[in-house]
Structure 1
Amino acid sequence: MRVVGLMSGTSYDAVDAAAADLTLDEDGTLRLVPLGMVSAPYEDTLRAALAAALPPAPTTLGDVCRLDTRIGQAFAALAVRADRELCAGRAELMASHGQTVFHWADAGRVHGTLQIGSPAWIAEATGRPVVSDFRPRDVAAGGQGAPLVSLVDLMLLRGRPGVPAALNIGGIANLTVLPATGPPLAFDTGPGNALLDAAVRELTAGRLDHDADGALAAAGRVHPPLLRRLLDEPYYRLPAPKTTGKELFHPGHLRAALAPHPGLAPQDVLATLTRLTARTVADALRPLRATEVIASGGGTRNPALMAALREELPPGTALLTSDALGLPAAAKEAYAFAVLGFLTVHGLPGNAPDCTGARGPRVLGSLTPGRRPLTLPPAPTRPPGVLVIGDRSAGDGRCVSAAAASAASYRPAAGG
């Protein structure tokens, strides 16, 4: 099945679409051949309206309605483009994560989660069925609703030596770890790029929205008192499973931390925030004795962050990106939601209860029909256990197991 996964993360800067050919073998091997990725930034007015409506800012139901429509239209436009450019017009399914605008977490429990971007616009524009609204079913079953990519991570990690971990660095950073013994774990470690991006916008009066290539952080020095204050946040000491978002790690959180330290150079603030992300990830991994970390997400394009992470990880811990396994780091989450959409239409669970805390496996999402009568594929005889990444360039359908992929240490590309 040819599936397009659509994703906009907690940085809310763009919509990503990744297309994949997916095949589930009778032995439970799920084969994914990446077909490519396209991305489109949100229009400036839409991004500004979204930023103005996010917590802790007040908003109205009218604002939410307008955002739901406009974000749905942005997703739809990119879905049409992805079908045309990546699938030659032969996509069979769209899988849309939507845009998270609120994650209702209190005292370690998630009571609700809201992703907007109406799937009706995607179905109408593409004519294809759309799976969307993945997270609420896991929450209704007592789970955190995140990280939902943990199921895909586990299939990717199985068979790798030692204690492998998958790390995604978006606005929020999250981990999936497959211990040598015992159940797997997955949780949000804290901010990835969220506070970094907020600081850049604040310190440049909106002239910049991110630290390109980590250049500002690389020119600064860590300020230990500020780092200690940031690390005092109680979230970091909560047990897993746990999830968080910009409801906690927002510009006000940053301003409160900076208040006792006026006059810091912007470069030093960014160096400190970069170290915060690296430190909290490494602190979360240390007791789990991870032997390798497979990173993905926008943070992997920040050489300063990757260098700080390498310094913070215990000696001997390998750091690589998911590109080494054949899954592009910039598009991994979009590919993951393509997989989750595939599982949904086949009637298969898309959550990992050990990771999210749900009471059991659940089929995720809601299905919006396309233009044709809705026909679901037959249910497979067994769910997938291992994810195998295909090599499209080979032209012969050859696939390379993630377990056999190179584990060479990450080396940032020139220019980040």
Structure 2
Amino acid sequence: MTGKKLNVVGLNCGTSIDGIDVAQLEVSLEQADNAAGFFSLNVKLLHYSEAQIDPHLKKLVLDTCYPGKSTTIADVCDLNFAIGEAFGNAVLDSGINLDEVDLISSHGQTVWHEPRGGVRNSTLQLGEPSVISQLTGKTVVSGFRTAEVAVGRQGAPICGFLESALLHDDAKVIISQNIGGIGNATVIDPKLTFFQFDTGPGNMMIDTAVKILTDNQKQYDVSGSMANEGENEIDHEYVEAFLNQPYFGLSPPKTTGRELFGDNVSERITKELISKGLSPSGVVATITRITSESISRAYEMHVLPQVTNSEIDEIYLCGGGAYNTNLVKNLQKRFPTTKVAKLNERSPVNAESKEAVAFAILGYLCITGAYAEIPRFSESEEKTHMGVITPGKNFNRLFSWISGLDGMVLKNVIVK
């Protein structure tokens, strides 16, 4: 069985809103096992770049996410189109030859994610796909998380299918740990289906504290330097109290976001720690320890009891936190016999491009009618096609080329 080779551009902007990731891939069917219902993809990364986010647009996004801000529905409406313009322009400015591109796959910008509680489970990503399509002339696939939430799953993390395909080892338990705005782990066991969950805060609370404490002179703790400087001041009682909140005790699957670890929470923590006499570096070190301990304890509570031989062989880090030496040092200290390294050391898909690559592949799966593999511990085993298709000027030509995979499930990704 063969499938059409497609040139796909994946777009993503994470919770930290640091920039728009642009990844161009050549994706084709490598092999298929019709009897087993699985297939493998051959993926070649042709281009990766990161477009800067306009500071004013970033502020608008953060204001929309901040509880208590007087954001109106008119503001949200305008923001949806503004983010779409930013994503479309990121493609135009990337240097990619659009004549080669068949499809654009955009995650958009998550402004709120509420997969548990409330009237109903919900998630909202902005970045109008029709604007991206109009600017680029290409068909766009978007809205991946909404399908997951609608079918009863939590919609995040969502890249585990790719990490499992890239990192699976027949003899090792491996964790791919993303430390973006939020921390999330994909646990890849040699004998069991992978599972994934949000460990808790990532860089989001640290970044907010740094901005407050430096009067916006710094946007994040470069290399973890402030945390390293203030390590002797860490308020360990405060760390323990924070980590006693219910989220950390929940078993996977679980996901979280700004509703628990947003800017308003970090502002409160920063004020409380300053009032206790901590220096700016001590405040950052304490909040950084909350993140590192939330990850370590998540492994102890939710990973070690589930995996082969009750041990973790390797941990690969991605996201901005992979470059925070304080976070990395303390994670290695807590798991001294485990290899801790950046994702780049193990995978040809590097830490920076991983999520944009994953969304490009999800776009390919959507238009070919295929599925991503469902993780272990999912609330629902129902398969769902992730993505909403917005036709572009190439829509008719694109769909005349496609040979569908007819409900098969992606099992492996071969990166060349």
Where on the TM-score scale, by shorter chain, does this alignment land: which range? Answer: 0.7 to 0.9
* Residue 41 of structure 1: aligned partner: 52
**Relative to structure 1, is the Cα distance of residues 173 and 109 closer, same or farther in structure 2, using a 3 angstrom cutoff?**
farther
What is the rounded CA distance, in whole Å, between the counterparts of 1:339 and 1:355 in structure 2?
23
**In 2 relative to 1, CA 40–373 (structure 1 residues): closer, same or farther, beyond 3 Å?**
closer
- Change in CA separation of 1:51 and 1:162 when aligned onto 2, cut-off 3 Å: same
Give the share of equivalent positions with the same residue, in percent: 34
Number of residue pairs aligned between Structure 1 and Structure 2: 387
Match of 2:278 in 1: 264
Query: 1:294: which partner in 2?
Result: 316
Aligned ranges 1:342-357 → 2 under 5 Å: 342-350=364-372, 352-354=374-376, 356-357=378-379
Q: 1:274 aligns with which of 279, 285, 288?
A: 288
Aligned equivalent of 2:239: 227
Query: Aligned to 2:121, what secondary structure does the other structure show?
Result: strand
**Pick aligned residue for 1:363 from 385, 389, 409:** 385
Query: Which of these residues, 255, 279, 299, is aligned with residue 285 of structure 1?
Result: 299
Q: Distance in 2 between matches of 1:386 and 1:147?
A: 19
Matches within 5 A, 1:4-403: 4-27=9-32, 28-58=39-69, 59-82=71-94, 85-87=95-97, 89-107=99-117, 111-221=121-231, 222-261=234-273, 262=275, 263-286=277-300, 287-288=303-304, 289-312=311-334, 314-324=335-345, 325-350=347-372, 352-354=374-376, 356-374=378-396, 375-376=398-399, 377-380=402-405, 382-390=408-416
The aligned amino acid for 1:15 is: I
Report how far residue 225 of structure 1 moved: 2.1
SS of 1:341's partner is helix
Query: Alpha carbons of 1:379 and 1:147: their partners in 2 closer, same or farther (altered >3 Å)?
Result: same
Say if 1:131 and 1:327 are closer, same or farther in 2 by CA, change over 3 A.
same
CA separation of 1:335/1:310 partners in 2, compared to 1, >3 Å: closer, same or farther?
same
The alpha carbon displacement at 1:258 in A equals: 4.5
| SS of 1:330 mapped into structure 2 | coil
- The answer (yes or no) to whether the contact 2:31–2:41 under 8 Å persists in 1 is no
Q: CA deviation at 1:308?
A: 2.1
Q: After TM superposition, give the deviation of residue 174 of structure 1 in Å.
A: 0.6
Give 1:41 shift. 1.9
Give SS of 2:146's match. helix
Shift of 1:98: 0.2
What is the rounded CA distance, in whole Å, between the counterparts of 1:235 and 1:17 in structure 2? 33
- Quick check: 2:173–2:188 contact (8 Å CA) kept in 1? yes
For residue 209 of structure 1, give the secondary structure of its aligned residue in structure 2. Answer: coil
Query: 1:190 and 1:110 mapped to 2: Cα distance?
Result: 22
Provide, for residues 186-238 of structure 1, a one-character-per-residue CA deviation record: whole Å limited to 9, x for no partner.
11001110111011111122222111122111211132122122212221111
Q: Aligned partners of 2:360, 2:120: CA distance in 1, in Å?
A: 24
Q: CA deviation at 1:45?
A: 1.4
Tell me the TM-score normalised to structure 2 length: 0.88
Give unmatched runs, 5+ long, in structure 2.
1-5, 33-38, 305-310
**Would the aligned equivalents of 2:205 and 2:262 in 1 still touch at CA under 8 Å?**
yes
Measure how far apart 1:55 and its partner are: 3.3
For the residues of structure 2 that align with 1:132 and 1:247, how far apart are their CA atoms? Answer: 23
Could you list the per-position Cα deviations for residues 23-78 of structure 1 after superposition, in whole angstroms to 9, with x for gaps in the alignment?
A: 22223221221122111222121111111111313421111011101100000001
Indicate how the Cα distance of structure 1 residues 355 and 76 shifts in structure 2: closer, same or farther if over 3 A, else same: farther
Residues 17, 202 of structure 1: alpha-carbon distance in 2 compared, 3 angstrom cutoff:
same
Report the Cα offset of residue 133 of structure 1: 0.6
Amino acid at match of 1:9: G
Question: 1:360–1:183: structure 2 CA closer, same or farther, 3 Å change rule?
Answer: same
Query: Cα distance, 1:316 vs. partner?
Result: 1.5
Shift in CA distance, 23/302, structure 1 to aligned 2, threshold 3 Å: same
TM-score for the superposition, normalised by structure 1: 0.88
Say what the alpha-carbon RMSD is for the aligned residues.
2.0
Residues 66, 108 of structure 1: CA spacing in aligned structure 2 closer, same or farther, 3 A cutoff?
closer
Separation (CA, whole Å) in 2 of partners of 1:282 and 1:39: 30
Tell me the CA shift for residue 109 of structure 1.
10
Structure 1: where are the runs of 5+ without partners? 391-416
Q: Verify the 8 A CA contact 2:170 2:191 in the aligned structure 1.
A: no
